[in-house]
Amino acid sequence: MKENILPAIRLTIVCLMFFSGVYTLIILGVAQLAPNKGRGEVVVDNGKMYYTYIGQRFTDDKYFYSRPSAVNYNAAGAGGSNKGASNPDYLAEVQARVDTFLVHNPGVKKADVPSDLVTASGSGLDPHISVEAANTQVSRIAKSRRIAEGHIQQLILSHTEKPLLGLFGTARVNVLTLNIALDNLK
């Protein structure tokens, strides 16, 4: 028994020192090479500071709606709802979101509502929506702001982020930066 316990204790101490010290310093060093030294990307608009990679709530008809959040956009507690697709409470919540979206976007059919506008992401803080979700909202925003739909579609195109290396993920739009650009349209 002694021959098994002592090596286990030594391994535990070595792992504890490595993962709580050395590994942490390596990650901190890599973060220093990142933009803004790993503190996240910040946008300042009208004196307010926003983190571009944390979802924000937009409910006014003149803005693009964000993806719903299971944590009420609270970055201190990221997480999903953990409700399955057959959970009656979850289904009622999604149906309420679909109904609300259709009221604010009368020209859109129920079958055409993109899922990322009515379902929360796993983190509850996803700042992106699909290009399809952005295009679905163009009519409402154009009407609300009295801007030609073509201008808004051009804005979506200029704010579309391509998949990583052209392979990983899908094209997406950061809602915060898109809405800030929308406010700055002349």
Predicted local distance difference test score (pLDDT) of residue 184:
87
Please write the tens of the pLDDT for every residue from 124-170: 788 999 999 999 999 999 999 999 999 999 999 999 999 888 788 88
What span, in angstroms and rounded, lies between the C-alpha atoms of 131 and 160? 7
pTM of the model: 0.77
**Nearest residue to 61 (alpha-carbon basis) of 114, 137, 133:** 137
What span, in angstroms and rounded, lies between the C-alpha atoms of 175 and 88? 29
Predicted local distance difference test score (pLDDT) of residue 33:
84
DSSP-derived 3-state class of residue 119: coil
Token code pair at residue 28 = 């901190």
| Residue numbers in the chain where pLDDT is lower than 70 | 186
Amino acid (one-letter) located at 8:
A
Predicted local distance difference test score (pLDDT) of residue 173:
94
Residues ≥6 apart with Cβ < 8 Å to 5: none
What span, in angstroms and rounded, lies between the C-alpha atoms of 38 and 11? 31
Predicted local distance difference test score (pLDDT) of residue 52:
82
